[in-house]
Amino acid sequence: MKKYTVDRVVENVYAVLMPHDPAEKDFSLPLTELPIQVKMGDEIEIEMAKGKVTAARVVKRYRPAAGKPRRG
Protein backbone atom coordinates (compact mmCIF):
# COMPACT_ATOMS: atom_id res chain seq x y z
CA MET A 1 0.00 0.00 0.00
CA LYS A 2 1.15 3.51 -0.77
CA LYS A 3 0.77 6.47 1.57
CA TYR A 4 -0.92 9.75 0.71
CA THR A 5 -2.08 12.88 2.47
CA VAL A 6 -5.50 14.32 1.63
CA ASP A 7 -4.64 17.79 0.34
CA ARG A 8 -8.25 18.90 0.06
CA VAL A 9 -11.81 17.69 -0.44
CA VAL A 10 -13.61 19.38 -3.31
CA GLU A 11 -17.38 19.93 -3.13
CA ASN A 12 -17.78 16.76 -1.04
CA VAL A 13 -17.32 14.78 -4.25
CA TYR A 14 -13.62 13.98 -4.60
CA ALA A 15 -10.34 14.26 -2.70
CA VAL A 16 -7.01 15.54 -4.03
CA LEU A 17 -4.23 13.27 -2.76
CA MET A 18 -0.56 14.13 -2.32
CA PRO A 19 1.76 11.11 -2.42
CA HIS A 20 4.43 10.64 0.22
CA ASP A 21 6.73 9.37 -2.56
CA PRO A 22 8.15 12.48 -4.30
CA ALA A 23 8.47 10.54 -7.57
CA GLU A 24 4.66 10.32 -7.84
CA LYS A 25 2.22 13.06 -8.85
CA ASP A 26 -0.85 14.41 -7.07
CA PHE A 27 -4.15 12.95 -8.23
CA SER A 28 -7.79 12.86 -7.23
CA LEU A 29 -10.26 10.11 -6.37
CA PRO A 30 -13.99 10.12 -5.73
CA LEU A 31 -14.84 10.11 -2.02
CA THR A 32 -16.84 6.93 -2.65
CA GLU A 33 -13.49 5.15 -3.21
CA LEU A 34 -12.04 6.31 0.12
CA PRO A 35 -12.75 5.53 3.78
CA ILE A 36 -15.86 7.13 5.27
CA GLN A 37 -15.42 10.67 6.61
CA VAL A 38 -11.95 11.18 5.17
CA LYS A 39 -10.99 14.85 5.40
CA MET A 40 -8.25 17.31 4.59
CA GLY A 41 -4.96 16.48 6.30
CA ASP A 42 -5.71 12.80 6.91
CA GLU A 43 -2.95 10.35 6.02
CA ILE A 44 -4.22 7.32 4.16
CA GLU A 45 -2.88 4.15 2.59
CA ILE A 46 -4.28 3.03 -0.74
CA GLU A 47 -3.78 -0.12 -2.75
CA MET A 48 -4.71 0.05 -6.42
CA ALA A 49 -4.90 -2.46 -9.23
CA LYS A 50 -5.66 -1.59 -12.86
CA GLY A 51 -6.59 1.96 -11.88
CA LYS A 52 -9.14 0.89 -9.26
CA VAL A 53 -8.89 1.19 -5.47
CA THR A 54 -8.78 -2.32 -3.99
CA ALA A 55 -8.12 -1.25 -0.39
CA ALA A 56 -7.92 2.01 1.53
CA ARG A 57 -7.53 2.93 5.18
CA VAL A 58 -6.84 5.99 7.29
CA VAL A 59 -3.53 5.63 9.11
CA LYS A 60 -3.57 9.02 10.85
CA ARG A 61 -6.42 11.47 11.31
CA TYR A 62 -5.55 15.15 11.01
CA ARG A 63 -5.96 16.99 14.28
CA PRO A 64 -5.27 20.72 14.26
CA ALA A 65 -2.91 21.91 16.95
CA ALA A 66 -4.67 23.39 19.93
CA GLY A 67 -4.23 27.13 20.06
CA LYS A 68 -2.99 28.98 23.08
CA PRO A 69 -5.78 30.13 25.38
CA ARG A 70 -6.66 33.77 25.01
CA ARG A 71 -6.26 36.09 27.92
CA GLY A 72 -8.93 38.70 28.49
- Whole-structure pTM value: 0.84
Whether 38 contacts 15, CB under 8 Å: yes
Q: Hey, where are the domains in the chain?
A: 2-60
What is the rounded CA–CA span in Å between residue 59 and residue 3? 9
CATH architecture of 2-60: Beta Barrel (2.40)
Per-residue pLDDT tens listing for the chain (72 residues): 999 999 999 999 999 999 999 999 999 999 999 999 999 999 999 999 998 999 999 999 998 877 666 665
The Cβ-side half-sphere exposure at 50, using a 13 Å CA radius, reads 0
